[in-house]
Chain A
Amino acid sequence: MTGQKVPRRMRLGLSVASVGYHYIAWRLPEVSAIGSMDLQHHIRAAELAERGKMDFLFLADWASLLNLDDPRIARDCEHAQLKMDPTLVVSALATMTERVGFMPTASTTYNHPYNFARRMATIDHISGGRLGWNMVTGFNPEEALNFNHDKPVPSDARHARAGEFVQVMNGLFDSWDADALVRDKAGGIFFEYDKVHTLAHKGTHFSVLGPLDVPRPPQGRIPIITAGVSDNAMELAAQFADMSYGGQPNIEAARKYYDTVKGKLAKYGRSHDDMLMMPGIQCYLGRTQAEAEDKFARIQDLLLPRVGIGHLLLNHFPDLTGLKLDEPVPNLSMTNDMMEHRISGREPEMTLALIKRANDEKLTLRQLFDVMMCGFWSLGVIGTPKIVADMMEEWFTTGAADGFNIQPPWMPQGAEDFVSMVIPELQRRGLFRTEYEGKTLRENLGLKPVPSQYARGAAMAAE
């Protein structure tokens, strides 16, 4: 029988950082500055994602404030530094929604796998199998200082721990066979003795007896998304992640990243389709090009120069304090002190490209801010729904992306614009679903079910 081949469809996440990806989104009159501390704000975002049939709502997180010791970095003008633990936000949202998935961020360095596994398994139960996880290792040096460290934890140590963390978590998820909890009232048997498994993990970073005190999550395995372009991050992704949240500003870089990460899968016994590449995209949408450009100009006008200059510093630029907005920036070169201190996770290649552009095109400071705020570290588009859809289609069909994380510059309008303007266009082109295919996030993402390791063992033994 030759079945109809299911067309390849884009995966879409709605990625929310507080009230928007633009650092000063909160200054817009229509944006609630309290926003991210209010459950209603998050409900609105989840409902928009669900209305757009998007795969998941993604919530960024880190357990600290950033750059407090450097007065040149104006974090005190940004809304995203203060935030709620996203695992708890999505647990609340799970009760208010039906279909959309959730992708809260949590770090492997500052959590314990037993604590984390039980929270995640619980939320997967509460949501009926709609939970995912943005796995981070917590590269911000400030986080380490909130968790008993005197200095930042080196990348190698963080990634080694992360690998063990995921294995322990997944092992704990398998503690209870699906049919272990018989709850036989008449016979008085609550669970079957030989269907619950003790992990007895003894590793380098953790020693965990098990079993988990939560039954196997509905999805069996929680889908994992992860980002990062370092070798360590890419290896971790290739080994354990189901999705990669890339940050490439152009299609050439995205294709290279796509091939590099997917190329690593085989050595971990995984196939090309086991990983969905989902770069971030930030778009300013208008029914006309002029309308879109006005939107962008309107928020850029609110960007205080010290905020912009601080972010350039974070991206290894020299200090441009004192420069007028419409003055061309002087000939630039990357500074070394930022590189050494690694105060940013950004890759220097992007900075080099931007510096070259600034020098070649004699950009003014204002123009440099414009480039930085849209299209510097992820795909940025200012335009009509057709332009955005064209670009997404090109990335999707030419080996640069399997889907996208939509980063609205401000909430909720950025998400509303995308859902009402771009998604219908993608649906018309047959690139995106018109109905959710499955009940769980895994099913909607088209990821293979993962049987319990004990079920697999039993199946092999029976062969």
Chain B
Amino acid sequence: MAKRRIHLGLSVGSVGYHYSAWRHPDVPAGGAMDFAHYRRLAKLAEAGLFDLMFVADTASVRMLDKPESARNRIHDHVRHEPFALMAALSAITTHVGLLPTVSATYAEPYNTARAVGALDHLSRGRAAWNVVTGFCNYEAQNYGLDALPSAQTRYARAAEFIGVVNALFDSWDDNAVVRDKASGLFFDRTKMHLLKHRGEFFKVKGPLDLPPTPQRRPPLVCAGTSEESQELAAKYADMVYAGKVTLADAREYYASVKGRMARHGRRPEELLILPGVMVYVGRTRQEAQDKFDRLQDLLTDEQGLGLLMAYGLPDYSGYDLGGPVPDLPAGKEQFGQYVSEALATAKRDGMSVRQLYRMIGGGFWSLRAIGSAADIADMMEEWVHVRAADGFIFQPPCLPIAVEDFVALVVPELQRRGVYPMAYMQGTLRERLGLDRAVSRHAQVAAE
């Protein structure tokens, strides 16, 4: 059986996924606000033949109500707005896909269709879009809401949002914008489609004020494990940014999402599942471990205690940090699922407070791979082979050095094994991802 090709995305948020990334001597602490940092990452991404560059997003500065120590040691408070960043990157790249994040809860579908469409034109067919629904009250309060709407409301809105954006992408038939200099006709009204959408959340007349883009429907990315999010992905998504950290869970999730697709008239190949993975790679296992330990050792007690508080755990300062995690009442905030799991693990395994904050600081929510290039490639091949993944979103622990390591060590190993391309394939992002050409719904109707 032929080996399955591995797809790779590169997540370029801030200066890295490890909480200490910014304190590493080789990391530009101000990188998140320095476009030169992203220029360098774009070069690396294209050198490593990544399918796409991704930037996560939340439109807020979180943890405002936390004690000072809980928030001012964390580096991801300031960022580039994703579409502005990706538009800028479109001008200085030629191959890599560009994946900004947009929240369906706080954006307008007409503006979003214009932005994704413009990015697809600017990049000549390399745009994608990651739709999220928001997860925190801080963000909601920047948009006139007292609190984050319920998951049910958010996902209902997201489904309508995506439907409207996709329909706007079909405003024009392929041959509608004729630009016929001889007759003077620029576009043919009879090949233009008004949306006249009137839904629960949006009223949009259309058409989109943009000709069909090179991909017509730039690939859509969704994430999430809830019932609602899996349904949304199965119905609409071209890629899923997955978050399972064990092989068994990842296989189950993979089967669950792909298994839902038939109900929406889709084939499993029409969706790529890409788990996030934090990779620490070295020429030897020891070197890789050292890289991880170095970042872990940059976590001070003060930073670690702050981090726990930032995630809604109690203030353990004054307790024996080498001793077991004390039983203290939790703060008013409900723990995230990940944090509850981390705390349960710590209690079960008799971890110390220090071990707990190191677990959280080291990126406890992500799949982590530490090893030689062969180890990393083994893991990736296995996950793809047993259908736990179709590829990965690489979450570099620290930028740009972790990407340099990955491109120098892991990429050639994957190429040697024949599971990764030797050069960029020509064509649009959709084509490179092996996704079907998007056909306008109006063309489909006409053909039937």
Interface residues of A (CB under 8 A from B): 24, 26-27, 29, 33-34, 37-39, 43, 62-65, 68, 76-79, 81-85, 87-89, 91-96, 110-112, 114-115, 118-119, 121-123, 125-126, 142, 145-150, 175-176, 181, 183, 185, 188-193, 196, 198, 206-215, 302, 304, 307
Do A146 and B205 touch across chains, with their CB atoms under 8 A apart?
Answer: yes
Which residue in B33, B71, B74, B203 is a CB contact (below 8 Å) of A215?
B33
Do A190 and B110 touch across chains, with their CB atoms under 8 A apart?
Answer: no
Enumerate chain A residues within 8 angstroms of B211, measured Cβ to Cβ: 37, 82
Do B115 and A125 touch across chains, with their CB atoms under 8 A apart?
Answer: no
Do A190 and B204 touch across chains, with their CB atoms under 8 A apart?
Answer: no
Given contacts A76-B189, A110-B110, A207-B141, 17 further A-B contacts (CB under 8 A): A26-B186, A33-B186, A79-B186, A84-B210, A85-B114, A85-B115, A89-B118, A122-B85, A125-B80, A126-B80, A126-B84, A185-B23, A185-B25, A192-B72, A196-B61, A209-B60, A209-B138
Interface residue B5 (Cβ < 8 Å from any Cβ of A): no
CB distance from B162 to the nearest CB of A (A): 17
Chain A residue with minimal CB distance to B39? Answer: A95
CB distance from A262 to the nearest CB of B (A): 34
Helix, strand, loop or mixed for chain A's interface?
Answer: loop
Do A63 and B114 touch across chains, with their CB atoms under 8 A apart?
Answer: yes
Task: Report the contact-size class of chain B (Cβ under 8 Å from the partner).
Answer: 35 or more
**Shortest Cβ-Cβ A-B pairs, 3 listed:** A209-B141, A88-B87, A183-B29
Do A210 and B142 touch across chains, with their CB atoms under 8 A apart?
Answer: yes
Do B78 and A91 touch across chains, with their CB atoms under 8 A apart?
Answer: no
Enumerate chain A residues within 8 angstroms of B114, measured Cβ to Cβ: 63, 84-85
Distance A125 CA – B85 CA, assembled complex (angstroms): 10
Interface residues of B in 36-92 (CB under 8 A from A): 39, 58-61, 64, 68, 71-75, 77-81, 83-85, 87-88, 90-92
Interface residues of B (CB under 8 A from A): 22-23, 25, 29-30, 33, 35, 39, 58-61, 64, 68, 71-75, 77-81, 83-85, 87-88, 90-92, 106-108, 110-111, 114-115, 117-119, 121-122, 138, 141-144, 177, 179, 181, 184-189, 194, 202-207, 209-211, 300, 302-303
Enumerate chain A residues within 8 angstroms of B119, measured Cβ to Cβ: 88
CB distance from A463 to the nearest CB of B (A): 29
Distance A93 CA – B118 CA, assembled complex (angstroms): 13
Enumerate chain A residues within 8 angstroms of B302, measured Cβ to Cβ: 188
Which residue in A84, A112, A188, A212 is a CB contact (below 8 Å) of B121?
A84
Do B73 and A83 touch across chains, with their CB atoms under 8 A apart?
Answer: no
CB distance from A208 to the nearest CB of B (A): 5
Enumerate chain A residues within 8 angstroms of B115, measured Cβ to Cβ: 85, 88
CB distance from A430 to the nearest CB of B (A): 36
Q: Pick 12 A–B contacts, CB within 8 A, sort by A.
A: A76-B189, A84-B210, A85-B114, A88-B118, A91-B84, A93-B91, A111-B111, A114-B106, A114-B142, A146-B204, A181-B30, A208-B142
Enumerate chain B residues within 8 angstroms of A191, measured Cβ to Cβ: 72, 77
Which residue in A65, A85, A183, A212 is a CB contact (below 8 Å) of B207?
A65
Which residue in B74, B106, B209 is a CB contact (below 8 Å) of A65?
B209
Do B87 and A76 touch across chains, with their CB atoms under 8 A apart?
Answer: no
Chain A residue with minimal CB distance to B107? Answer: A115
Do A92 and B181 touch across chains, with their CB atoms under 8 A apart?
Answer: no
Chain A residue with minimal CB distance to B168? Answer: A146
Do B84 and A122 touch across chains, with their CB atoms under 8 A apart?
Answer: yes
CB distance from A117 to the nearest CB of B (A): 9
Distance A316 CA – B35 CA, assembled complex (angstroms): 49
Do B75 and A190 touch across chains, with their CB atoms under 8 A apart?
Answer: yes
Do B73 and A188 touch across chains, with their CB atoms under 8 A apart?
Answer: yes
Do B186 and A77 touch across chains, with their CB atoms under 8 A apart?
Answer: yes
Enumerate chain B residues within 8 angstroms of A207, measured Cβ to Cβ: 141, 144
Chain B residue with minimal CB distance to A111? Answer: B111
CB distance from B83 to the nearest CB of A (A): 6
Enumerate chain A residues within 8 angstroms of B39, measured Cβ to Cβ: 95
Do B144 and A92 touch across chains, with their CB atoms under 8 A apart?
Answer: no
Do A95 and B88 touch across chains, with their CB atoms under 8 A apart?
Answer: yes
Q: A63-B111, A82-B177 are in contact. Are A189 and B85 (CB under 8 A)?
A: no
CB distance from A116 to the nearest CB of B (A): 9
Q: A84-B121, A126-B84, A190-B77 are in contact. Are A96 and B91 (CB under 8 A)?
A: yes
Enumerate chain B residues within 8 angstroms of A85, measured Cβ to Cβ: 111, 114-115, 118
Distance A206 CA – B143 CA, assembled complex (angstroms): 7
Do A188 and B90 touch across chains, with their CB atoms under 8 A apart?
Answer: no
Do A92 and B177 touch across chains, with their CB atoms under 8 A apart?
Answer: no
Distance A458 CA – B35 CA, assembled complex (angstroms): 31
Chain B residue with minimal CB distance to A172? Answer: B142
Distance A183 CA – B121 CA, assembled complex (angstroms): 37
Which residue in A76, A92, A94, A118 is a CB contact (below 8 Å) of B122?
A92
Enumerate chain A residues within 8 angstroms of B203, measured Cβ to Cβ: 145, 148-150
Enumerate chain A residues within 8 angstroms of B90, measured Cβ to Cβ: 39, 92
Q: A148-B202, A190-B72 are in contact. Are A26 and B179 (CB under 8 A)?
A: yes
Which residue in A37, A87, A150, A209 is a CB contact (below 8 Å) of B84?
A87
Which residue in A89, A96, A193 is a CB contact (below 8 Å) of B68?
A193
Distance A38 CA – B213 CA, assembled complex (angstroms): 11
Do A26 and B181 touch across chains, with their CB atoms under 8 A apart?
Answer: yes
CB distance from A187 to the nearest CB of B (A): 9
Which residue in A125, A150, A215 is a CB contact (below 8 Å) of B35?
A125
CB distance from B141 to the nearest CB of A (A): 4
Do B118 and A84 touch across chains, with their CB atoms under 8 A apart?
Answer: yes
Chain A residue with minimal CB distance to B206? Answer: A146
Which residue in B83, B122, B300 is a CB contact (below 8 Å) of A188?
B300
Do A190 and B74 touch across chains, with their CB atoms under 8 A apart?
Answer: yes
Distance A463 CA – B417 CA, assembled complex (angstroms): 71
Enumerate chain B residues within 8 angstroms of A29, measured Cβ to Cβ: 181
CB distance from B87 to the nearest CB of A (A): 4
CB distance from B240 to the nearest CB of A (A): 25
CB distance from A246 to the nearest CB of B (A): 26
Do A213 and B79 touch across chains, with their CB atoms under 8 A apart?
Answer: yes
Chain A residue with minimal CB distance to B188? Answer: A76
Which residue in B30, B33, B35, B59 is a CB contact (below 8 Å) of A118?
B59
Enumerate chain B residues within 8 angstroms of A118, measured Cβ to Cβ: 59, 81
Chain A residue with minimal CB distance to B58? Answer: A213
Do A304 and B184 touch across chains, with their CB atoms under 8 A apart?
Answer: yes
Enumerate chain B residues within 8 angstroms of A213, measured Cβ to Cβ: 58-61, 77-79
Distance A191 CA – B187 CA, assembled complex (angstroms): 53
CB distance from A127 to the nearest CB of B (A): 9
Do A82 and B35 touch across chains, with their CB atoms under 8 A apart?
Answer: no
Enumerate chain B residues within 8 angstroms of A307, measured Cβ to Cβ: 184
CB distance from A212 to the nearest CB of B (A): 8
CB distance from B82 to the nearest CB of A (A): 9
Do B118 and A302 touch across chains, with their CB atoms under 8 A apart?
Answer: no
CB distance from A249 to the nearest CB of B (A): 26
Which residue in B110, B122, B186 is a CB contact (below 8 Å) of A78?
B186
Q: A122-B84, A123-B84 are in contact. Are A190 and B22 (CB under 8 A)?
A: yes
Q: A85-B118, A307-B184 are in contact. Are A94 and B142 (CB under 8 A)?
A: no
CB distance from B430 to the nearest CB of A (A): 18
Do A125 and B72 touch across chains, with their CB atoms under 8 A apart?
Answer: no
Distance A181 CA – B177 CA, assembled complex (angstroms): 49
Which residue in A83, A147, A188, A211 is a CB contact (below 8 Å) of B210?
A83
Enumerate chain A residues within 8 angstroms of B179, measured Cβ to Cβ: 26, 33-34, 79
Distance A23 CA – B71 CA, assembled complex (angstroms): 54
Chain A residue with minimal CB distance to B207? Answer: A65
CB distance from B247 to the nearest CB of A (A): 35
CB distance from A456 to the nearest CB of B (A): 22
Distance A145 CA – B78 CA, assembled complex (angstroms): 34
Q: A76-B188, A181-B78, A190-B72 are in contact. Are A95 and B303 (CB under 8 A)?
A: no
Distance A185 CA – B27 CA, assembled complex (angstroms): 10
CB distance from A165 to the nearest CB of B (A): 13
CB distance from A126 to the nearest CB of B (A): 5
Enumerate chain B residues within 8 angstroms of A115, measured Cβ to Cβ: 59, 81, 106-107
Enumerate chain A residues within 8 angstroms of B185, measured Cβ to Cβ: 76-77
Q: A92-B88, A95-B92 are in contact. Are A176 and B78 (CB under 8 A)?
A: yes
CB distance from B77 to the nearest CB of A (A): 7
